[in-house]
Structure 1
Amino acid sequence: MSCEGESRQLQLLFSWGANSYGQLGLGSSNDELLPQPVTHFPDNKRVITCITGGGGHSAAVTDAGELYVCGQNKDGQLGLNHTDNVPHFSFCSALRSIRVSKVSCGWDFTLILTDNGQVLSCGSNAFSQLGIPQVKSCSVPEPVQTLHEKVTDVAAGLRHTLALTESGQIYQWGLGMASHAKRFSCGNPISPFFTAKEPCQIPGLANIRGKKVIAGSYHSVALTDLGELYVWGSNKHGQLLQKEPFGLQPQKIKSHFFLEEMIQSAWSGWTHLIAQTDCLWI
């Protein structure tokens, strides 16, 4: 029997690939060569609104603002107040009274953005990627205190972090890109944001308004409200569409690469980028 206006489409989650730490959420640590259904998550009362993976862990946010995590947890990156690996998607009870809007996973840490614009982080802080000074790691999500403006987007790289504020300003912290920057600086001082242990505003972007931040392993990207992409960091695989092997300052990608179209959204893997334009060509 069904009631008008109360029908709900069943959502299924599948996972496959490497599973050494239980990051597929299947209840085991066996690798899977074919897509396997993740049983009991989400249940028929919840819809996944955001899902992401890190070096060996996975995280998902539901339409109720709940955070579920699984996989590697040796640095507390699951935020469950312990360091045991978890083979099933498990509710992050430390955030029971907090509504989560987005989650982003780095190599061994996790960034959490709440509905009220606060950034929380947990996991390894070996490269200051948590933005919380004087801690080696956190097994419970802790707030990034020095972001005083409401945050609208976050992105985790391999060992660095980006945040976008309500006014469109872009911040970076974490030492993950520092050694690469020093290698290509020819002995000159590098910008402070490469070695920042707490949120540091990116120079050269003060006159643009950010719409989204994107992070790869050793590169960073900002999408502006004008549909332009600014990039910096490693260009080893040509992912930044620049001449230099490493971008020490943000540079705008020329629009002719995208047929002069505005960029609507963009995504990054560890060493590649994908962009979607506004125009639909037929």
Structure 2
Amino acid sequence: MRDVINLRLNLMEGAQLSKCVLYTWGANSHAQLGQGHTEDQAEPRRADVGLQAEKIRCMTGGGGHSALITESGDLLMCGQNHKGQLGLSHTTEVITFQLCPLPGGKRVQQVSCGWDFSVILTGDDGQVWACGSNAFGQLGVSPRITHSAELLHVKTLNEPVTSVAAGLRHTLASTASGCVYQWGTGLSSHAKRMLNPQPVPAHLSSKEPCIVPGFDHVTSQKVVAGSTHCICLTVEGDVFLWGSNKHGQLVSESLFLPLPVALDRSLLQGERVIDVHSGWTHLVAVTESGRVFTWGRSNYGQLGQTNLSTEKESDTVTSSGHPVEVKALFGATQIACGSEHNLALVGGRIFSWGWNEHGMCGDGSLFDVTQPRSIPHLRDASALLIGCGSGHSMALCSLKSNEDSAS
């Protein structure tokens, strides 16, 4: 995260830019764009964050809500809040970004948003807090709590956490000792069907943090969650995958992997992976040389691969069960995945591709985008940060003092 902050500061100094603007676009039925209304936007428009835009260092979103983290560790939230997923002590929808205070004035290091819940990692102590729906045990607290608009401490994680990830209905965490924990029953029904008559492993059905076996001889660095699959990137640059493989997202012949299995590096030109991202059913990996590979479901063009069909007939589910390099994304410095769409920052320009029904690709249309292409409205802006929610997109851009290109 520090590298991202330094990159943004260097860009601002080198280009003598004086103003930062947060742009948001795409689905907005719950005001997740933070623009003060609930109309979808097919092109980037400014969100109302005031001077806070100058300080944003991270942005992400969930099913219908958005989250920003500032350089000082403040957390800003907006959007859908019917389960209390904004952590603001109420369940009223919020149409512009509001500060979410943490207990004891704690600073936020990372936030990950699931469908209707949020998981927050605090910086100094490595503690995990959660809010929103707990219908599947995804908050990692007492199952008697159905949902919470208050931030709840996940107390059973009794060692410092370094990374968190919220899936559709499950949660992952990696710790300073290199362990990986999982909770939430979002994968259990898939596991029961696929593993029968074998029992379902505890980590796939636990409503409290449960250690994931298989990481005894490696050290986890980052966890990532899809709708019904899980990913762990190790410090050695290996990617471990487990959960549902319905769309080839685990690169396996099995339809379900109950335990983590390492991705064969030979499928990535033998290179180490330095970052990995996931939508609901597809994955994106960046290797040490700057190559970008995608695999998994592709029915909306979310893989950005030129050799795949995007037919949507009910009996046709197109996918790629092996990683393919997307050469247009070589050298990408940032990537963000929504449920079925993506953003990438390449050479200071923002590229988008995938599902576009609500305008989340930002090209002004509602047609899916099958190959990465730069967003017309932002071609002249200096992009600093990008982020995605399930069906919406965000970008922090710097503008020259005499520039007023935003509408």
TM-score where L is the length of structure 1 = 0.94
Distance in 1, matches of 2:93 and 2:103, equals 19
- Cα-to-partner distance string for 1:113-170 (whole Å, 9 max, x where unaligned): 0012000000000000000012111101111000010001000000000001001100
Does the Cα contact within 8 Å between 1:66 and 1:96 map onto a contact in 2?
no
**Structure-2 change in CA distance of 1:136 and 1:212 (3 Å):** same
Distance in 2, matches of 1:96 and 1:25, equals 26
**Structure-2 change in CA distance of 1:42 and 1:205 (3 Å):** farther
The residue number in structure 2 matching 1:33 is 42
Which of 170, 175, 181 lines up with 1:160 in the alignment? 170
The residue number in structure 1 matching 2:276 is 266
**Structure-2 change in CA distance of 1:203 and 1:42 (3 Å):** farther
Distance in 2, matches of 1:166 and 1:130, equals 20
State yes or no: 1:243 paired with 2:259: no
State yes or no: 1:107 paired with 2:115: yes
**Aligned AA (1:32):** Q
Does the Cα contact within 8 Å between 1:80 and 1:94 map onto a contact in 2?
no
Moved over 4 A (4+): none
Q: Please report how far the alpha carbon of residue 103 of structure 1 lies from its aligned counterpart in structure 2 after TM superposition.
A: 0.4
Q: Please report how far the alpha carbon of residue 182 of structure 1 lies from its aligned counterpart in structure 2 after TM superposition.
A: 0.6
The residue number in structure 2 matching 1:89 is 97
Does the Cα contact within 8 Å between 2:49 and 2:96 map onto a contact in 1?
no
Does the Cα contact within 8 Å between 2:136 and 2:184 map onto a contact in 1?
yes
The residue number in structure 1 matching 2:208 is 198
The residue number in structure 2 matching 1:148 is 158
**Aligned AA (1:250):** P
Which of 194, 203, 220 lines up with 1:210 in the alignment? 220
Does the Cα contact within 8 Å between 1:154 and 1:162 map onto a contact in 2?
yes
**Structure-2 change in CA distance of 1:114 and 1:94 (3 Å):** closer
Distance in 2, matches of 1:76 and 1:94, equals 14
TM-score where L is the length of structure 2 = 0.66
| Identical amino acids, percent of aligned pairs | 46
Secondary structure, in 3 states, of the residue corresponding to 1:43?
Answer: helix
The residue number in structure 2 matching 1:229 is 239
Does the Cα contact within 8 Å between 2:128 and 2:161 map onto a contact in 1?
yes
- Cα-to-partner distance string for 1:61-105 (whole Å, 9 max, x where unaligned): 100100000000000000000000001011013457111011000
**Structure-2 change in CA distance of 1:163 and 1:42 (3 Å):** farther
Which of 25, 31, 50 lines up with 1:16 in the alignment? 25
**Structure-2 change in CA distance of 1:8 and 1:64 (3 Å):** farther
The residue number in structure 2 matching 1:78 is 86
Distance in 2, matches of 1:113 and 1:49, equals 15
The residue number in structure 2 matching 1:174 is 184
Which of 186, 195, 204 lines up with 1:185 in the alignment? 195
Which of 73, 77, 83 lines up with 1:65 in the alignment? 73
Distance in 2, matches of 1:254 and 1:178, equals 26
**Aligned AA (2:55):** V
Q: Please report how far the alpha carbon of residue 10 of structure 1 lies from its aligned counterpart in structure 2 after TM superposition.
A: 2.4
Q: How many residues get paired?
A: 276
- Cα-to-partner distance string for 1:175-207 (whole Å, 9 max, x where unaligned): 001000111002210100011111100012222
- Cα-to-partner distance string for 1:232-277 (whole Å, 9 max, x where unaligned): 0111111111111111111111111100000011011111111111
Distance in 1, matches of 2:266 and 2:197, equals 34
Structure 2 spans left out of the alignment, 5+ residues: 1-12, 292-329, 331-407
The residue number in structure 2 matching 1:121 is 130
Which structure has more relative contact order (CA 8 Å, sep 6+)? It is 2
Secondary structure, in 3 states, of the residue corresponding to 2:191?
Answer: helix
Secondary structure, in 3 states, of the residue corresponding to 2:190?
Answer: helix
Secondary structure, in 3 states, of the residue corresponding to 1:184?
Answer: helix
Q: Please report how far the alpha carbon of residue 43 of structure 1 lies from its aligned counterpart in structure 2 after TM superposition.
A: 2.8
Does the Cα contact within 8 Å between 1:75 and 1:83 map onto a contact in 2?
yes
RMSD: 1.6
Distance in 2, matches of 1:43 and 1:59, equals 13
| The structure with more helix, counted as a fraction of residues | 2
